[in-house]
Amino acid sequence: MTVTSSTTVRVRYAETDQMGVAHHANYPVWFELGRSDLMRALGVSYTEVEARGYYLMLSGLHVQYRRAARYDEELTLETTVGEVRNRRLVFSYVLRRGDELLATGTTEHVPTDKSYRVARIPEDILEKLRGA
């Protein structure tokens, strides 16, 4: 089963740069909003993961930018869970403005404990992330 959530992102003025478009470093911030929404929808919020003693540290980030986004535009971000293993999580992202594809991306995560040591995520959390 593939689980996807949808997040609306409105481009902030502070996110623009002197090119007149949203600066590319905002995309991973938006992806994080999508991840937050998806995890909440799956019944296991980020906040809960941290409360149980885990961080989902980023190990990889990939973004393909197709078209620029402008101030005040409303964008739609679709977030999907990819791999879910106890030492590796992958999420993928599709950003659109209406029907137009603006960007795609993936993030890879390694679960750690609060001392930043690699850790196994408990099985009940993994099951929720799998949408099971």
Q: Which residues bind a second copy (CB under 8 A)?
A: 12-14, 16-21, 23-29, 32-33, 36, 45-47, 50, 55, 57-66, 68, 71-72, 116
Q: Which residue from 89, 67, 96, 91 is spatially nearest to 79, judged by alpha carbons?
A: 91
Residue 60 CB, nearest approach to a second copy (Å): 6
Tell me how many helices (H) and strands (E) the chain has. Answer: 3, 5
- Kindly report the backbone phi and psi dihedral angles of residue 90, in degrees, each rounded to the nearest multiple of 5, phi listed first: -130, 135
Task: CB nearer to a second copy: give 50 or 100.
Answer: 50
Count the alpha carbons within 13 Å of 110 in the hemisphere toward its beta carbon: 8
Task: CB nearer to a second copy: give 66 or 132.
Answer: 66
Rg (CA), the chain: 15
Distance (Å, rounded) from C-alpha 83 to C-alpha 92?
A: 10
Residue 83 CB, nearest approach to a second copy (Å): 16
Residue 110 CB, nearest approach to a second copy (Å): 9
Residue 11 CB, nearest approach to a second copy (Å): 10
Q: Which residue from 94, 114, 121 is spatially nearest to 106, judged by alpha carbons?
A: 94
Task: CB nearer to a second copy: give 45 or 80.
Answer: 45
Task: CB nearer to a second copy: give 25 or 101.
Answer: 25
